A and B are shown apart, each in its own frame.
Chain A
Amino acid sequence: MAVATPGQVPSVPAEPPALSLYEGGHGRWPSWLQPAVRKISNNGLRWWTGFAALLPVAALIAIIAVLAVKALPAIKYNGAAFLTRTTWRPGSTYANPVRTNGVLHPVGVSYGAWPLIVGTVESSVIAVCFAVPVSVLAALAVVEKLPRKLSNAFGVFLEVLAGIPSVVFGLWGFVTFGPIIARDVAPFFADHLPNIPVFDFFRGDTGSGEGLLTASLVLAIMIVPIVAATTRDLLRQVPRLPKEGGLALGMDDWEVSRKISLPWIRAGIIGASVLGLARALGETIAVAMVSGAVLGTVPTNLYLPFGTIAATIVSQLDGALSDGTGFAVETLAEFALVLGVITLLANIGARLLVRRVAGTALPVGRGV
């Protein structure tokens, strides 16, 4: 360091300043390398973040593309009537295969998706019908009424329930739920409901415990944590002012919940229900264990066995592999695409519904 003598301006040190202001910056590198290091450091972050962002997009595109390519021969052979057909005939796998329109398939094969589409949608909708009222009312009780300690305990129970694997639910449903429904619940409703055509769905043959009602109840129990936790968090965000205003006007607690809290979070409840619906649509192993696994038939009442697309894909994959022409596996890929489309439609419908509902939220605040 130059010593400052009176009258002399201290000279500027000859060494150029470090290119970074912090310790251990690019200044560690030799100067001839520093421009390159700087460029790599700056662009590297861009590359890594760009790559990470592209990964989910690429995965989704890859899944759809591979499934579509695999399903193409089946789509060509099965045609558009596939969605409304009710047959399930694997054909004569032991006879010589034939080629139609360039697609190799066993003789006499005919698959139809209608029973599975109906089964998937019915079981999921019934599950949501059971789960949403229970979850919303439970969340109301937790947020409005329960003391803090119980409220926290409820939260813990919800989280544990949400974390239980679906196969555990399936096994439990098969061992306990199924027999109870077969012995007690189903005969009670089937025998005591009045003989009006609109109740036909709830009467008649009570099956053996493996059926639509059992599967829907098991799905409902799986959906409850999602909807309840979301609704509870949403209810906590409802501002106190409107609620206290309602109480001041003379409303009781129940009316405040019904007319102020719940409408405030209407869009959020719909969103949570759709989350639950999406889980139910795709639920595979639990449904496979309690649905009775029949193919090619639409259940005529609530207690009879049925099939969903996801459960059928998993239970039929091994059998499909033994079809030497590969047509059965291609049809399963087509089923997977159909399930993807159903889930997509459910999501789009929910978005439209939320937009419509949120648009009419109370003027005082914003819908969530």
Chain B
Amino acid sequence: MFSASSSKSNRKVAPGAAVAAGLLAAFTTTAATIIPASATTLRHNVTVSETPPKGSVNIFETGSTLLYPLFQLWSAAYHQEHSNIKIVPSGTGSGTGISDAADGIVDIGASDAYLSSSQVSQHPGLLNIALAISAQQINYNVPGLNHTHLKLTGPVISQIYQGKITEWNDPAISKLNPGVNLPADKIIALHRSDSSGDTFIFSSYLSDSDPNGWGQNIGYGTSIGFPSISNALGETGNGGMVTGCAATPGCIAYIGISYLGKTQADGLGEAMLANKAGKFELPTATTISAEAAALEKKTPANETLSMVYDSAAGGYPIVNYEYAIIPPKELNNAHAQAVKAFLAWAVDPKHGSSSSFLNQVDFQPLTPAVAQLSLAQIAKISG
């Protein structure tokens, strides 16, 4: 510490040191007020090149059946632009997407569910990158009522899937739909038997809207223990849910919005769901965007966010980010660069996220701030 012998020099240095310390303190406090702490504003735009490296690369993608139709469109279009890159998509369920990406078996895993903290701690460097905003519909097959949009709420659906409401003309459902002639048919509750991001979103919605019932007893996840009731049926994939519901009069099913064309072609009914404000909404571009816009500021840097049952007034309650799950280390550098270029192209509103692609699957593009977060994560991909 300070000795008596250097006190003379200290007396000359000490004022200078005090001034320097003062300036430093002033600088940092000013800087703290100028640079915002919010996660969604960055001081400069992240750019990632959309041009892949030379040399032919096959990018393998597997996972969510909700994202699968869009990946098929993207794969064809990207291959047309860059014929040396071939993207091979497959629809196997979000759980498979996550586990295959975690094991490094595929280049991109698609998932409607974000990563759990135990998955991230088991595989450090596993990323979930938001690509688009999608939603989930509740479809039903009640002969004669498939063109009326029946109104349902989270607690009612929770009771149906727990076997407490077994018929369509139950008082709880008639109360929500006054004037509609509901038949006394049995409700067949369809669920996904494979590990599914749609199950994750659906069970999150039921947990949030019925916290003391579903939230306490069953919870949420890509694979959950659906209550074993006599009128339950398990199907595989969104496609299986559509065909199963079309073949089963009295069914109710949760299906991703990218299958809206198929559900309408098969004549399935679409339910209007009550959002947190109590208003009944259909999943349209307006209601989905309203929900997503309200959640833009809450999205953290790693984009892990549940968007279900939020408080947007005109919002549809079951909305989610579609994620690309990226392994901690891609196969090699060529694959990493190709994946980065493709994903940057995918989130670009002029290319992959333009309405010409997203309208075909009824998705919405990421808001600009969230697209920036995605690009920041895309820049971290290595191989």
Contact = CB atoms under 8 A, between A and B. Distances in A.
B247 interface: yes
Interface in B91-125: 92-96, 98-99, 103, 116-119, 121-122
Interface string A287-327: 00000111111001000110000000001101111111100
A94 interface: yes
B221 A93 contact: yes
Contact of B98 (A86, A90, A294, A322): A322
A226 B348 CA distance: 60
Nearest to A97: B118
A89 B230 contact: no
A298 B188 CA distance: 18
B228 A96 contact: no
A110 B98 CA distance: 23
Contacts of A292: 233-234
A315 B194 CA distance: 7
B195 A322 contact: yes
Interface in B60-106: 92-96, 98-99, 103
A215 to B, nearest CB: 14
A166 interface: no
B15 interface: no
A328 to B, nearest CB: 8
B224 interface: yes
A321 B111 CA distance: 14
A106 B99 CA distance: 16
Given A96-B118, A292-B233, A90 B224 contact: yes
Contacts of A343: none
Interface in A101-149: 106, 108, 110
B120 to A, nearest CB: 8
A205 interface: yes
B305 to A, nearest CB: 13
Interface string B222-256: 11111011111111100000000001100000000
A87 B225 contact: yes
A330 interface: no
Nearest to B195: A319
Interface in B151-205: 188, 193-195
Contacts of A322: 94-96, 98-99, 119, 195, 222-223
Contacts of B226: 295
Nearest to A111: B225
Contact of A319 (B122, B220, B222): B222
A141 B345 CA distance: 69
A305 B233 contact: yes
B193 A293 contact: yes
A295 B234 CA distance: 9
Nearest to B93: A318
A93 B96 contact: no
B233 A318 contact: no
Contact of A89 (B92, B225, B236): B225
A34 interface: no
A90 B221 contact: yes
Contacts of B314: none
Chain B interface helix/strand/loop/mixed:
loop
A88 interface: yes
B53 interface: no
A312 to B, nearest CB: 9
Contact of A208 (B117, B121, B221, B247): B247
B223 A316 contact: yes
Contact of B228 (A90, A179, A297): A297
Contacts of B222: 93, 319, 322
Interface residues of B, number: 38
A320 to B, nearest CB: 8
Contacts of B247: 179, 208
A92 interface: yes
A110 B247 CA distance: 33
A296 B193 contact: no
A94 B96 contact: no
Given A319-B95, A322-B98, A94 B122 contact: no
Contacts of B220: 92, 94
B213 interface: no
Contacts of B218: 89
Given A90-B223, A295-B228, A325-B118, A208 B95 contact: no
A15 to B, nearest CB: 67
A283 interface: no
A315 B193 contact: yes
B229 to A, nearest CB: 8
B92 A318 contact: yes
A324 B119 contact: yes
Contacts of A294: 193, 228, 232-234
Interface string A317-348: 01111111100100000000000000000000
A295 B231 CA distance: 13
A366 to B, nearest CB: 51
A324 B126 CA distance: 13
Nearest to B218: A89
B206 to A, nearest CB: 14
B219 interface: yes
Interface of A: 86-94, 96-97, 106, 108, 110, 179, 205, 208, 210, 292-297, 300, 304-305, 315-316, 318-325, 328
17 contacts: A88-B228, A89-B225, A90-B223, A93-B116, A94-B116, A94-B220, A96-B117, A208-B247, A208-B248, A292-B233, A292-B234, A293-B193, A295-B193, A319-B194, A320-B223, A322-B96, A322-B222
Given A293-B235, A294-B228, 5 more contacts: A91-B219, A297-B228, A319-B93, A319-B194, A321-B99
